[in-house]
Structure 1
Amino acid sequence: MIRSMQATDIPDVLALLHWMDAAPEREVFAPDSRDPRELHLECEEGLCLVEEDDDGVRAYCALSPFRDGLVLEGPIAEYAGSEGGSMNALLGRAAQHTDGQPVYAFSARDNLPVRTALEKAGFAPLHSTAFYSAPLAQISHGARVPDGMRTTDSLPVAEYRALYRAAEDAWAGRLDWTPEQYAAHFADDTVRLVALWRGNHPVGFAELEFSPDDARADVTYLAVHPAERGQGLGRVLLALAAAEAQSHPELRTLRVRAHDHLHSARALYARMGFTHCRSMVTYLLDGDEEA
């Protein structure tokens, strides 16, 4: 039976999440919380569905607001069967609640059961994102600010938006941030910014998020203004970002990412000694309007 999730389902959903976490190839977009109370609070904000039988909850998925539409959490099903029955049934029920909005989904490249179920339900792959990692000490080695330039740990919101807009069209989601949202984001203790300036003009930035529990720093955004490219500033920013992260002794690794069309970024990561660690595929179920 497929129904809305209840508080009593939390232990079974947590078991599914931990099962997913146990193998990288099972990864899908899923709740962040692994604590019962926090998971309950997190799941209250969207439509959450479970499939149950006599043994309890067998599968989970959810829909939440995202970008111009919705994002799918899951589907997660430890006992999906050879034909993906649990996942197919959940996706069919979730599709009844999209109200014609586009729905995004994210799955590990190697999670073939979920990818098959998504494509059977009408989701189409948009792009893949590869993640690369390297020891902080390796990337920070030789970090220095080029002659005639300087760094800061912040940017005025207008300058940030201008670089954000110029560097990559796919980042448009942050262009509608209010000054208050921008300030709140960078007030987070796990977020850092390394901005590179030539005179009074910022030429690029590296944005970091720290994950102390994983001993890792993630470069969430790397931007170099198009007029400043070809001078090795991407390498400079990555080295400076690694040096910033290395000042926090609980961190050991730097992780970066690039979509499949960003060939220059992928080549830079390879030259600097990053190694591929995982890939995610972004899917879209088109709504009534163009996404």
Structure 2
Amino acid sequence: MNRPVTQQHLSQLAELLAWMDQAPERRALAPEARTPEGLWWELLVGEEQAWVWLEGGRVEGYGALVPFWDGAALEGPIVRGGDGRALLAHLIRKARQRGYSALYAFPEARNQRVRSLLEGMGFSAQHTTYFYTIGRADLSCPVPQGFRIERVERCDPEVYRELYSRVEDGWSLRLRWTDEELCQHFLEAGVELFLAYSRKGQAVGLAELELGDKEAEVAYIGVVPEARGRGLGRALLGAVADWAFAQPTVELLRVRAHDHEKAAQTLYRGLGFREESAVMTYAMEF
């Protein structure tokens, strides 16, 4: 049976999440916390609307709705006991009741059980995103002649939006941010913005780096169409990698590429990045 997550479920939910983590074929979008206390703050104090599936009084499934783009992102479904259809049907029904226009799910590509469940309930596969990692390495690269790369202290929202919309057709999330939200984001600790400029001073590429205590992630990287094919994207990657690994505690760099970004995938593999996971995006429109 489906029940809203309460404090009495948190210990068993933490154990269910640990079970999911043990194998790639079980993984899907899930809470970050892995302790009852952390889950309490994330699920019972936060904005998520979360439910568990109970079999014989035990937590054997989990799912939640999180506001995302024009609809909601689906955490899970994480299914250990039962076939999961009742849990997923419940989540779809709740999304409709809350007036969401679409529901998105992000299972690991190897999670055939949940992928089949989603497809059987009417979700459509959109694309696959590949995630790569590399340990401390020298990835520096000369900047092509006629260009320069600079770390930007303050974000110019107008320049940023134009670049963001031109370097990748599929990016849209940041275009909804206000000027204030964009500026505030790049003032946060650990968030760095690098821009590439042409000889005429026109911004033609960007790279965003998010620094953690031990890891760093390239959140976005791209070059406008007319500046491609000259090694500028490779030089941007080298610039952010140099900055990341200049931090003494950072031991790992993460990057990502969608399935249509073949050149980026080839570049990452050629530089020694290891594919860590592949996540599929599914969508259901209401």
Task: Tell me whether the two structures share a fold, i.e. TM-score over 0.5.
Answer: yes
Aligned to 2:5: 5
The aligned residue for residue 208 of structure 1 is: 209
Aligned to 1:217: 216
Give the conservation status (yes or no) of the 8 Å contact 1:132–1:255.
yes
Partner of 2:283: 284
d(CA) in 1 for partners of 2:149 and 2:28? 40
Gaps of 5+ in 1: none
- Cα separation, 1, equivalents of 2:232 and 2:190: 24
Q: Deviations over 1:39-91 (max 9, x none)?
A: 223224132111123342111101121111111101112334xxxx2x21100
Deviation at 1:16, TM superposition (A): 1.2
2:133 aligned residue: 133
1:176 aligns with 2:176: yes
**CA contact 2:102–2:285 (8 Å) conserved in 1:** yes
> Which amino acid is 2:92 matched to?
A
Say whether residues 1:116 and 2:113 are aligned partners.
no
Greater displacement, 217-226 / 186-195: 186-195
Distance (whole Å) between structure 1 residues aligned to residue 79 and residue 264 of structure 2: 35
Unpaired segments of 5 or more residues in structure 2?
none
The answer to whether the 8 A contact 2:143-2:232 is kept is no
Kept in 1, the 8 Å contact 2:55–2:81? The answer is no
Question: Quick check: 1:134–1:275 contact (8 Å CA) kept in 2?
Answer: yes
CA shift for structure 1 position 208: 1.4
Q: Distance in 1 between matches of 2:4 and 2:224?
A: 47
- The answer on 1:58 being equivalent to 2:60 is yes
Corresponding residue of 1:258: 257
- Describe the SS at the equivalent of 1:203: strand
The alignment partner of 2:53 has SS state of strand
Q: Is the 8 A contact 2:20 2:78 kept in 1?
A: yes
User: What is the one-letter code of the residue matched to 2:168?
Assistant: E
**In structure 2, C-alpha distance between the alignment counterparts of 1:270 and 1:50, rounded to whole Å:** 39
**CA distance in 1: counterparts of 2:143 and 2:58, whole angstroms:** 58
- Indicate the SS of the match to 1:31: coil
Counterpart selection for 1:46 from 45, 48, 63: 48
Say whether the 8 Å CA contact 2:138–2:242 is kept in structure 1: no
CA distance in structure 2 between the partners assigned to 1:20 and 1:188 by the alignment: 32
User: What is the rounded CA distance, in whole Å, between the counterparts of 1:79 and 1:94 in structure 2?
Assistant: 17
Q: Displacement, 1:146?
A: 4.2
Is the 1:69–1:103 Cα contact (8 Å) retained in structure 2?
yes
1:229-251 Cα distance to aligned partner (Å, 9 max, x none): 11100110111111000111221
Any conservation in 2 of the 1:62–1:94 contact (CA below 8 Å)? yes
Could you say if the C-alpha distance between residues 104 and 223 of structure 1 is closer, same or farther in structure 2, counting changes exceeding 3 Å?
Answer: same
Q: Which residue of 2 aligns with 1:272?
A: 271
Separation in 1 of the partners of 2:206 and 2:172?
16
Counterpart position of 1:152: 151
Over aligned residues, Cα RMSD in angstroms? Answer: 1.9
2:77 corresponds, among 71, 75, 78, to: 75
2-11 vs 193-202, greater mean Cα deviation: 193-202
Deviation at 1:166, TM superposition (A): 0.5
Pair 1:247 & 2:246 matched: yes
Shift of 1:147: 4.7
Indicate the SS of the match to 2:172: helix
Note the C-alpha offset of 1:36: 3.0
Letter matched to residue 207 of structure 2 = A
Q: C-alpha separation between the residues in 1 aligned to 2:48 and 2:20?
A: 21
Residue 275 of structure 1 deviates from its aligned partner by 2.9
